[in-house]
Structure 1
Amino acid sequence: MKKVASLLLSSVLVVSLLAGCGSKKAEEPSTTDQSATKTEEAATDTKETETATDETTTETATEGTGAKTGIAINTSIEKSTAAGAEDGLAQIDSTVVAVLVDADGKILDCKIDAAQTKINFSAEGKITTDLASEIKSKQELGADYGMAKASSIQKEWNEQANAFAAYVVGKTVDEVKGIAVNDEGVATDADLAASVTIKLGGYIATIEKAVANAKELGASNEDKLGLGVNTTINKSTDATAEAEGLAQAYSFYEAVTVDASGKITSAVVDSTQGNVNFDTKGAITSDLTAAVQTKQELKENYGMKKASAIGKEWYEQADAFAAYVTGKTIDEVKGITVNAEGYAEDADLTSSVTVHIGPFITVTEKAVASAK
C-alpha cells in the first residue's frame, strides 16, 4: 500500500509540475529560447567589442583631428602725417598671422602677412591717391616691396616673414614669447638672425593673439594652412565744409585649412576698417594712438544687427559664411551664386548671410591659394 501511495503521490507531483510549466510558457523561454537569447547576448557582446574596436580604429585614424585654426590682426595708424608743403599721408599698417595649433598648444603651421596701405591727401583736404589702385599685401608684393636692398642679409620682407613663421613651428606661445631679442626688438639667436633681421615684437604679439583666438573648426593636423588678405581704398572721401575727409583701408582677412583633396576643412574670416580723418586744411583729426579693432573683436559694437534684415551682427554673418564654405573646394566657393549687387542667392546661405559676399569669396580664394 505504501508503494502504491508513493507512486500516486509522484504522479500528482509530475502532473502539477507540468501544469506549472504550461502556465509560465509566455514569461520564460524554453531551453531552446534561452540558448537563442544567450546567442543574441553573445552577438551583442561581439558587436560591442566590434564597436569598441571601431572606435579605437577611428581614434587612431583621426589622431590628427582636433587641431585649432586661428587668426589675428594688429592694426596701427600712428605713422599717418598731416598735409603741409607736401601731401598728407594716411598710413594703415596691419600685421596678420594665421596659425594651426595642436591639442598640446604647439604651433603646427604659421603664416604671416602684412597690409601697409598708404593714402595721400592734399592741404586742401582732397584725396590724391587713385582710389582704384590695387593694394597688395607684403606677401603679394614679394620683391617689389623693396626691403632686400636695405637688408643686411639681403632678404626681402616676405622671405624674412616666412623664415620666422617656420621658426615658430613646433613651439608653444610661451616658447615664442621667450625668443631672445635686443633692445631694438631684433633676434639675438644666431640661427634666427641669419634669416630674420626685422623687429619681432609686433609679430610675436600677433602670434600670441592668433593662438589665443584659435578654435576647433574641423581642421586636422595634416591639413595645409592658408592666409588671405584683400584691401580696397575706394570708400575714401574728400573733406568738405560739411564733413571731414576719410582715408579708409578696408581689409578682409581669412585663415583656412585645406585637406589633401583640396577641400576647405576650416575657415575664419575677419575685417578691419582703418580710418584716418582729415579736414579741409589737410590736418588729421583722428586720434592716431587709438586702437583699431577688427570686426570680430568689435562684436555687437560694430552695430550691424540693428540694420540687418535677419538681425545678425557682422561677425555672426562672417562665421556663417566660413561654416558654409567648409567642406567645399575653392571652385565650389567661386561658384556660389550671387546677384548683380553681390548678395548671395542660395536660400541656405541668405538665411544667415545678407552682407555682400564678393569680398568674402575673393579673400577665400587668396587664402586657399596660399595653402601650400
Structure 2
Amino acid sequence: MNQNHRAFWSCAMAAALLLTACGKTNAGSGSSGSMSGSSGTSSAQTQTAAWKTGLGVVTEATDQDRAGKIELAAAAVLLDGEGKLESVLLDELEVSVSADSTGHVTLPTDWRTKRQKGDDYPLAEVSSLKKGWAEQADAFANYLIGMTPEQVSMLKVDKDGKPTDADLLSGCTIAVDRYRDAVTRACANARALGAAKGDRAALGIEAVNGTSDITATDDKDVNAQVDVSIVALTTDADHRVTSAVADMAEPALTVVSDGGVTAPDLVKTKLELGEDYGMRGASALGKEWYEHSEGFCDALKGKTRTEIAGLSGDDADLKALCTIDITNLQKAALDALS
C-alpha cells in the first residue's frame, strides 16, 4: 500500500475571516461589563471589550509506504481593538511513525514540541542564520505584529513554504506556511474573553502517546495516535491569566497487518468538531466538550501559575463548570506560563 493523503488546512480567505471574527467589532458587544449605548461607558471599557484572544491549530498528516508523519502547528494570538495583531506565539509538534512487514509499529520516544526541545532540536547547526527553531519562529511572529488578519493570510512564500520578504529572511529562513495558516485561523477564532491592552499571548502544548496497540493483525489495525492538549492564554503585568482558550486534537495514522500506513484526510480538533463531538448525552452536566473547555478556561482567569498548579479536578467549583479530565490541559496551561 502506498498512499499519500494530506490534511493541510489553509485559511487564506481573508474576506471571509474579516466577516467572521477578526474585523472591527462594536465596542459594547460580547462584554458583560459594557453598557451598549450608555453615555457612561468609558474608553477603557471599550478597549477591553474589543481585545480578542485566539487559538489556531493546523494539522498535516502524510504517509508513504510503511511510514507516516503528523505535523501540528499551533498559534496563540492577541488582537487589539483595531483587529491588528498585538502578540503572537507559535509552536509545532512533529510525530513520526513507522512499521515493518509484520505490522509492528515503532512510535516516538520523545513527545515534546519543537519549542520544548530547545537546543535538542538541531536546527541552529544547519541553519544559515545559526539560529534555532524558537528564534526563527519568534522572528516570524514578531514580523506579524501590527498586521491585520487579511495581511497575514496574503503573506507570500515560495514553493517550499519559506518566506520571500528580505526583511523576514534576515531572521527566519524556515518554512512558515503552516504557521501563517495557524495564525490566520487563530484570528478567525478570536473572541473577546477578557484580555486588555498590555497583556501578552502565551501558548502551551502537552502531547502524549494515545496508541493502545503496537502490532497490527489481519483482524485489527493499529491507530498510531497522539493526544494533543493545547492552551492559549493571555497574561497581564502581574502574570495572572486574563483570558484562555483550550482545545485538544487526536490525530492518528492507521497501520495495517503488512505494515502499510495511511494518513487521515482531515483532522479536526474538539473545538472544531463542536456539537459533532457527541459528548453531551454522556456528560453529567449535559454539556458538550467545548462547553467543558470553556468552564476550565473560566477557572484559569485571574490565577497565577502557582494557583493553576494547585487546581484539582475534584474541586467543587471547577466540577460545577467542567467534569472532563483536566490533567493534560492543566499541564499545557502550566507550560504556557512557564
Confirm or deny a common fold (TM above 0.5). Answer: yes
CA contact (8 A) 1:97 1:111 kept: yes
The match for 2:90 is 112
| Pairing partner for 1:232 from 204, 208, 216 | 208
| Pairing partner for 2:317 from 332, 348, 351 | 348
State how 1:163-312 maps to structure 2 within 5 Å.
163-238=139-214, 239-284=216-261, 286=262, 288=263, 290-312=265-287
Residue by residue, what CA displacement relative to the aligned partner does 1:40-66 show, whole Å, maximum 9, x if unpaired?
Answer: xxxxxxxxxxxx99x57x534874553
The match for 1:315 is 290
Structure 1 residue 279: deviation in Å? 1.3
Alignment partner of 2:198: what SS?
Answer: coil
Looking at structure 2, the residues matched to 309 and 364 of structure 1 have their Cα atoms a distance apart, in angstroms, of 25
Structure 1 residue 210: deviation in Å? 0.6
Alignment partner of 1:175: what SS?
Answer: helix
CA contact (8 A) 1:64 1:222 kept: no
Residue by residue, what CA displacement relative to the aligned partner does 1:9-53 show, whole Å, maximum 9, x if unpaired?
Answer: xxxxxxxxxxxxxxxxxxxxxxxxxxxxxxxxxxxxxxxxxxx99
Cα gap change, 1:94 to 1:334, in 2 (>3 Å): same
Larger Rg: 1
Q: TM-score, normalised by structure 2?
A: 0.82
Looking at structure 2, the residues matched to 358 and 230 of structure 1 have their Cα atoms a distance apart, in angstroms, of 10
The match for 1:159 is 135
Looking at structure 2, the residues matched to 224 and 355 of structure 1 have their Cα atoms a distance apart, in angstroms, of 28
Structure 1 residue 160: deviation in Å? 1.0
Structure 1 residue 240: deviation in Å? 3.1
Matched, 1:128 2:106: yes
Looking at structure 2, the residues matched to 140 and 116 of structure 1 have their Cα atoms a distance apart, in angstroms, of 12
Matched, 1:71 2:55: yes
Alignment partner of 1:77: what SS?
Answer: strand
Q: Which runs of 5+ in 2 are unaligned?
A: 1-37
Alignment partner of 1:348: what SS?
Answer: helix
Structure 1 residue 306: deviation in Å? 2.5
Structure 1 residue 195: deviation in Å? 1.1
Looking at structure 2, the residues matched to 167 and 333 of structure 1 have their Cα atoms a distance apart, in angstroms, of 32
CA contact (8 A) 2:84 2:147 kept: yes
Q: TM-score, normalised by structure 1?
A: 0.75
The match for 2:13 is none
Looking at structure 2, the residues matched to 63 and 308 of structure 1 have their Cα atoms a distance apart, in angstroms, of 37
Structure 1 runs of 4+ with >6 Å offset: none
Structure 1 residue 269: deviation in Å? 0.3
Alignment partner of 1:215: what SS?
Answer: coil
CA contact (8 A) 1:230 1:251 kept: yes
Structure 1 residue 261: deviation in Å? 1.9
Greater Cα shift, 325-334 or 106-115: 325-334
Q: Which amino acid aligns with 1:111?
A: L
Structure 1 residue 323: deviation in Å? 1.1
Q: Which amino acid aligns with 1:110?
A: V
Looking at structure 2, the residues matched to 62 and 331 of structure 1 have their Cα atoms a distance apart, in angstroms, of 31
Cα gap change, 1:292 to 1:167, in 2 (>3 Å): same
Structure 1 residue 333: deviation in Å? 1.5
Identity %: 34
State how 1:45-60 maps to structure 2 within 5 Å.
55=40, 58-60=42-44
The match for 1:95 is 73
Structure 1 residue 234: deviation in Å? 4.3
**Number of residues paired by the alignment?**
300
Q: Which runs of 5+ in 1 are unaligned?
A: 1-51, 84-88, 338-343
Cα gap change, 1:217 to 1:73, in 2 (>3 Å): same
**Cα RMSD over matched residues?**
2.1
Looking at structure 2, the residues matched to 113 and 324 of structure 1 have their Cα atoms a distance apart, in angstroms, of 24
CA contact (8 A) 1:268 1:319 kept: yes
Residue by residue, what CA displacement relative to the aligned partner does 1:95-138 show, whole Å, maximum 9, x if unpaired?
Answer: 111100012110000011101112333322223336xx341111
Q: Which amino acid aligns with 2:250?
A: Q
Looking at structure 1, the residues matched to 44 and 324 of structure 2 have their Cα atoms a distance apart, in angstroms, of 41
